[in-house]
Structures are given as structure tokens and as C-alpha cells.
Structure 1
Amino acid sequence: MSLPSKVKIVEVGARDGLQNESTPVSVDVKISLIEKLADAGLPVVEAASFVSPKWVPQMAGSVDVFKGIKQKANVNYPGLVPNIRGLESALESGVKEIAVFAAASESFTQKNINCSIEESINRYTEVIEKALENDLKVRGYVSCTLGCPYEGEIASEKVAEVSKRLSDLGCYEISLGDTIGTGTPIKAKQMIETVAKHIPMPQLAAHFHDTYGQALANLFAVLQLGVSTIDSSVSGLGGCPYAKGATGNVATEDVIYMLNGMGIETGVDLDKLLEAGRFISDQLGRKPNSNVGLARYV
């Protein structure tokens, strides 16, 4: 069994997590959370989404969030950008990296952003080109890689096709999302293997939700293939507004505990991470939503 000696953790709780929480939090709380996550040693902290607050009220104040963060030199703070207007806001904020999102499901794409997969890729072409012209790094997300709430199972070949399109446009990394958390280890491995025929393994990331309690098992399976970048959300924040019953991304605390137990380096201080999870859980008025957080909750 071959496992990577080091794994990069992309913390998505302050964006992917908070935007799907029913309780909005203030700009100051978002800034505090992001700074606590960076202080815990996370190398990437996705900080905000430059979308209209009309559609995603939890992401209101993204420009103020970015301008308010005391940024660490060794930490990346990407922002999600859905369109040219969002990119303009990101540039105004001084963002150095953006993320764009597509899906491997036509139905999900229509429900999520009201267009087809082809139309979504065409939209991002201009966004990515302009971002690259402004020396921004661009990361691509692909949703519904292991299942769709409307179409059921998704062919891995479709995932590979959408991923390759984003990669060809200039995305340096492709994050493969099990948006509704229905994947299991063998299916996760098969999906990654299919995509890796078109995109080098070092450019792939695993973004697994834990709806059915399979996320850690799925991550262990794809780590054996050579995946060395994992998306996770502090305290398991989040869900998916277009997938009934879908829970949050796999909890960062649980991922770090597992990787520590396997001797895989992450550079993340678990105790400080738990403090960040406790902080945001208190702000949301609930107990931490990670197994490690609950085990250590007093």
C-alpha cells in the first residue's frame, strides 16, 4: 500500500461551509474564523464567495472580509467566483486565487446556476482568461462526481470530460466533489482513476461530503492512488442547498486525526484547529459537528 508522505488540506469551512448554514454570521466572525484556521497551520483557507447576497445572503460582505483579514504570507486565501462581476469584486479585494465551479450533472447545473454544463463552461472561459491575465491562480470545482440528487449515479467519463475542459482552460487544480455524499470507496477510486487518465494525479483534489458516513473511507481509498490534496470543512460545516438531506463536507478535525494516525504530514495543529471549530460552533449555537470535536468537547 502506497500513501503520500504529505497532504495539502484546503479548508473550505469559511466559504463552502458557512454559505450553506442557515444561521448567517457577521463579517467580524468570518474574519476571526479565517484567521484562527490560518493560525492552525492550514495552508489554504477558502475565504469567501463573490456572489450576489440576494442569492447567497450568508456570503454578504465578502469584499470586507478579504480586506479585513490579517493575511499570512504562507497561506492562500482563495475566493469563489461565479461570473465576471464576481471576478471584478475579487480583483477589487486583492484576491490572488479564485475558484470556479461546474458540475458533472446537467440537472444539477440547471438547478444550481440555471444553465447547461456547456453554457457554464462558456461562462467560465471569459472569467478564467481574465483572471489569468491578472496573474490570478484559478482552481476548478466539479460537483456531483459520485452521484446527483436528480440523476442518481454519474458516469466517471462525464466527470473526466468536465474536469478536462476546466483544466484545459487554465485551472491548475481540479477539486472533485461528492456533493451529496453517496460515494463509497471502490466507486471513489474508479472515478479518480478515470479522471487521472486525462489530468495528472498531483492536480486532483478530493472534496467529499459525509452524508452517509463514507467520506473518511473514500479519502483513504483515493490516498492510496496518489491523491495528496483534500478539501475539508472545520466542524463539518455546510451542506448543499440543492440536495435535500446532504450534510456538510468531511470535518477537517477528523481528516487531520486520521492523517496524523497514519504518519502523514499536514502541518496542521489539531488543538488549534479544534479551537477554531469550537469558536464557530459557539457562534452558530451548537456543539462541534466533528467526531474528534465531540470526543473532546467539554
Structure 2
Amino acid sequence: MPARALGLPVRSPAPNLPERVTIWEVGPRDGLQNEPNTVPVEVKLEFLDRLAGSGLTVLEATSFVHPKWVPQLADAEQLLAGLDRRPGVRYPVLVPNERGLDRALAAGVRHIAIFASATETFAGRNLNRTLDEQFAMFDPVVSRARAEGLDVRGYVSMCFGDPWEGPVDPAQVVAVGTRLLGMGCAQLSLGDTIGVATAGQVEALLGAFRSAGTDIDALAVHFHDTYGQALANTLAALRQGVTTVDSSAGGLGGCPYAESATGNLATEDLVWLLDGLGVHTGVDLDRLADTSAWMAQRLGRPSPSRVVRALRG
């Protein structure tokens, strides 16, 4: 029977999985940042409202990176000023430095994220800093944000493989991550930026963090689907106790500084998996698929999400 006729996955709960998972939706920021044509702010605002209407409770809205580097997000202030914030929904923004934090504070943002690298080469290419110098840049951002009562998330990119350096030593990722947690980040998102991770690597990295004394509740995962491993890697992370998973509605996005990176894990594909496993997300898959099909029409191309294609044709 085709997925369209089924409508929803058959629930068959599996043991040793969390009862509930928080989906950290990155589509409005990470998903749209590389679009070659400017997406009107009105479309972005409707996208955010539709995503909130589907039951998603964390929507990464935009970034205060300099418009020269990410022109698509040059409308950050305008977007936040026009945002209809729904009760119970968080709207974090990415801030690259203190100037970005200044803009975020002026816009009334309460949740921010910083973007660090686990490797020397990517730190240089993405941040124009060495691996150690990035912490000097982030420290005042995190300390000021915490003093203002903001919640801070730390992204760690290239956690499993780097296109210039190859496989990444878990100990190196743990060293970067624990410094960010010690600095004041409430959560780390461990990124498979180029989508090369395997389930065994995921288990090994999470185990290394555990061995270093990191609470698994402080860890989230962020997978790209370059080699079709994002869902397998997510399941491996869930079995290790992770309860926050990043994804992008419709599978939009990638990394502007890593050419081999394809789209993020599609939120619909993730929800299909979690619904089938009996893991609660609070997300209405049907409404979410409608939203991604709507956005795909505005971008002028089919949605990369397999679930969206199956449900909406």
C-alpha cells in the first residue's frame, strides 16, 4: 500500500528509546541560508508560522551574521520585528560574535546559538580563527548573553569528518565541546557537517562525552544526509539517550563553507521514524508535510524529503 494511502506510519514502539524527543527545527535559518534567490521576508514569516502551527516548539529563526557572508539572512531584524511569537515556542538565532549579540539583544532575542569548529582547518575557513582562537571570540559572547539571562547553545561542526583533515578524533571533539559547556553553553549540538558519520561513530563519540563526565541531556545531534545515513545515525543517538535532534523542514539546507555537504536531515523523515517508534514529538506530520510542500513551491523545486514526496507527490 503506498504511503499516501497509509497517511501515517504504523506505530511499533521499540525498547530503550526516549519517550519524547525535542526537534530543533533549523529550516528557517540553516535551511534557507544558501538559497541563491532572495526569499521575501513575508514568505519566511509565513514559513515560521506554519512550522509553529505543525507543533514544532523550537524554530531557529535567523542569524545575525554579516550580510556580506550570508545575504539571504540580511533581513534578520525585519524578520524578528514581524514575527508572531506563539506561546510555548522558542525562536533562537545564531550569533557569530559580539556584534551579532548586540543585534540580537536589541531585537529582544532570548535564545542564541554560537557556531564552533572541531577542526583547525574549518575554524580557519569558517571563522577566520585558529581552533584555540575561536574560544577567545566566543567567551565574551557567552558570558554577556548569560549575564543578560539568555539561553546559549553551542554548535560544534565537523564532529565526525572534515573534507580537508579526514576523520576527526572523538577526543578532539570532546575537548572542544567541554570547553563550550564550561564557558556556559547549556547544550551542544554535535554536527556531522558533511554527512559522513556512521552509527558506530555516533555511539563512540557520545560514549567519549559520557566518559568525560558530560550529561547526555546536554547533547543534541545534527546530521546531514550526504550518504543516506542521517536516520540510522539518529537512531543510534536515541539509543544512547539523546533527546534533542536537529532537522530541517523538507530537508532544506547545507553548509556554505563545506561544498560536499548536502541537505540536512528532513524533519518529516525524522517525524515518520519517531512516530513509527512510538516516540512523542508533538508534531502533526500532515501539517508539516503541507508546509514543506508549500515552501518547495515558493523555492521552485521539489522537496528533498522522501516523506514529503511520498505524501504529497
Which of 117, 142, 155 pairs up with 1:141? 155
TM-score between both structures, scaled by the size of structure 2: 0.93
Q: Deviations over 1:92-127 (max 9, x none)?
A: 111110000101110011011111121111111000
8 Å contact kept, 1:288–1:297: no
Query: Whole-Å Cα distance in 2 between the matches of residues 227 and 172 of structure 1?
Result: 14
The answer to whether 1:98 aligns with 2:143 is no
Aligned to 1:185: 199
Q: Deviations over 1:274-293 (max 9, x none)?
A: 11111211111011110100
Which of 267, 274, 290 pairs up with 1:259? 274
Cα drift, residue 47 of structure 1:
0.1
8 Å contact kept, 1:21–1:239: no
Which of 274, 289, 295 pairs up with 2:304? 289
The answer to whether 1:234 aligns with 2:240 is no
The answer to whether 1:217 aligns with 2:263 is no
Map 1:149-160; keep pairs closer than 5 Å.
Answer: 149-160=163-174
Cα drift, residue 197 of structure 1:
2.6
Which of 172, 177, 187 pairs up with 1:173? 187
8 Å contact kept, 2:289–2:312: no
Q: Deviations over 1:148-203 (max 9, x none)?
A: 01101000001101100110111111000000000011111111111233320011
Query: Whole-Å Cα distance in 2 between the matches of residues 22 and 179 of structure 1?
Result: 20
Aligned to 2:9: none
Q: Secondary structure at 1:24's aligned position in 2? A: coil
Query: Whole-Å Cα distance in 2 between the matches of residues 45 and 197 of structure 1?
Result: 31
Aligned to 2:122: 108
Identity within the alignment, %? 47
Query: Whole-Å Cα distance in 1 between the matches of residues 63 and 186 of structure 2?
Result: 19
Query: Whole-Å Cα distance in 2 between the matches of residues 93 and 202 of structure 1?
Result: 29
Q: Deviations over 1:73-108 (max 9, x none)?
A: 100000000011100110111111000010111001
Aligned to 1:37: 51
- Amino acid corresponding to residue 310 of structure 2 in structure 1: A
Which of 199, 206, 209 pairs up with 2:221? 206
8 Å contact kept, 2:56–2:89: yes
Aligned to 2:76: 62
Cα drift, residue 246 of structure 1:
1.2
Query: Whole-Å Cα distance in 1 between the matches of residues 96 and 307 of structure 2?
Result: 34
In terms of Rg, which structure is larger? 2
- Amino acid corresponding to residue 147 of structure 1 in structure 2: G
Aligned to 1:125: 139
Task: Specify every segment of 5 or more residues in structure 1 that has no aligned partner in the other structure, as ranges.
Answer: none
Query: Whole-Å Cα distance in 2 between the matches of residues 102 and 174 of structure 1?
Result: 10
- Amino acid corresponding to residue 66 of structure 2 in structure 1: S
Query: Whole-Å Cα distance in 2 between the matches of residues 225 and 273 of structure 1?
Result: 27
Question: Which runs of at least 4 in structure 1 moved beyond 2 Å after TM superposition?
Answer: 20-24
- Amino acid corresponding to residue 164 of structure 1 in structure 2: T
Task: Specify every segment of 5 or more residues in structure 2 that has no aligned partner in the other structure, as ranges.
Answer: 1-14
Aligned to 1:28: 42
